């Protein structure tokens, strides 16, 4: 068993939270009990994830997508009130790490996606070094690459490009990072992978000849929080439970 503050201090130091300029708070977002023995992980602090944490008797809900985003209203009403009320009633700490978890070289979403799909990362670039540039270990066609991703991620990706084209150099950033596509193009890759696609990326892919793969925001970001929780478990000997839901976005 650990204290809440011990877990928070360890995460802050190892994720290097202070290096990131984020648009959501990183760390403790809703305070619960002081002692932590059971942790539930989830991509998002949804009501379903919170209810699962209650069922497990968890002391902490550890997520990638927390609450209190800069773009949201400041008032605590409706769905936000229901989530927070449940957390407070059951004294569950809700802890979220956003960009620091995307970027971590071992536990991060980008690193974990590469490990799952057997990609090699050569370097990071772009805003806050969130874009990874690397290569496939063996040359594949875009068709083969997309089929392999669909199998591993359990979700059919959106693919724009010549399905017969050979892919060797690749760039990726999990989640909603379609805005990095031009940076990936400038790095000279054959394909760019992220979670979401917007209207503009269809045209860029066709006009620049670089394939675009939107593999799912949720699907590409399942693995970082699980890796972080495993590291916490190794240090503090706490129990870990995983919550997942088939979010198609």
CA count, 13 A, side-chain hemisphere, 117: 33
Name the residue among 225, 183, 222 with its Cα closest to residue 204: 183
d(Cα 146, Cα 23) in Å, to the nearest integer? 31
Is 203 annotated in a binding site? The answer is: no
Is 106 annotated in a binding site? The answer is: no
Both tokens of 166, joined, read 């050979």
d(Cα 126, Cα 36) in Å, to the nearest integer? 37
Burial grade of 152 (CB within 10 A; 0-12, 13-18, 19 or more): middle
Is 51 annotated in a binding site? The answer is: no
Helix, strand, or coil here: 89?
Answer: helix
Q: Could you give the C-alpha distances from 221 to 18, 79, 140, in angstroms and in order?
A: 22, 23, 23
Where is the binding site for a divalent metal cation, in residues? 64-65, 102, 217, 221
Where is the binding site, in residues? 64-65, 102, 217, 221
């Amino acid at each position: 068993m650990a204290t809440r503050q011990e877990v928070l201090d360890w995460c802050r130091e190892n994720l290097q939270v202070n290096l990131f300029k984020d648009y959501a708070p990183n760390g403790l977002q809703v305070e619960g009990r002081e002692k932590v023995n059971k942790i539930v992980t989830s991509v998002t602090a949804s009501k379903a994830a919170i209810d699962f944490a209650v069922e497990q008797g968890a002391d902490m809900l550890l997520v990638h997508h927390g609450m209190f985003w800069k773009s949201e209203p400041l008032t605590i009403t409706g769905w936000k009130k229901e989530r927070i009320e449940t957390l407070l009633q059951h004294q569950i700490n809700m802890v979220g790490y956003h960009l620091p978890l995307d970027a971590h070289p071992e536990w991060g979403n980008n690193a974990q996606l590469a490990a799952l799909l057997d990609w090699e990362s050569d370097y990071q670039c772009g805003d806050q070094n969130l874009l990874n540039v690397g290569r496939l270990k063996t040359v594949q066609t875009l068709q083969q690459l997309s089929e392999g991703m669909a199998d591993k991620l359990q979700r059919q990706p959106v693919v724009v490009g010549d399905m017969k084209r050979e892919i060797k150099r690749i760039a990726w950033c999990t989640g909603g990072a379609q805005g990095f596509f031009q940076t990936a193009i400038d790095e000279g890759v054959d394909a760019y992978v992220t979670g979401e696609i917007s209207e503009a990326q269809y045209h860029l892919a066709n006009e620049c000849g670089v394939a675009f793969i939107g593999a799912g925001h949720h699907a590409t970001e399942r693995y970082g929080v699980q890796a972080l929780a495993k590291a916490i478990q190794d240090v503090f000997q706490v129990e870990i439970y995983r919550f997942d839901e088939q979010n198609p976005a």
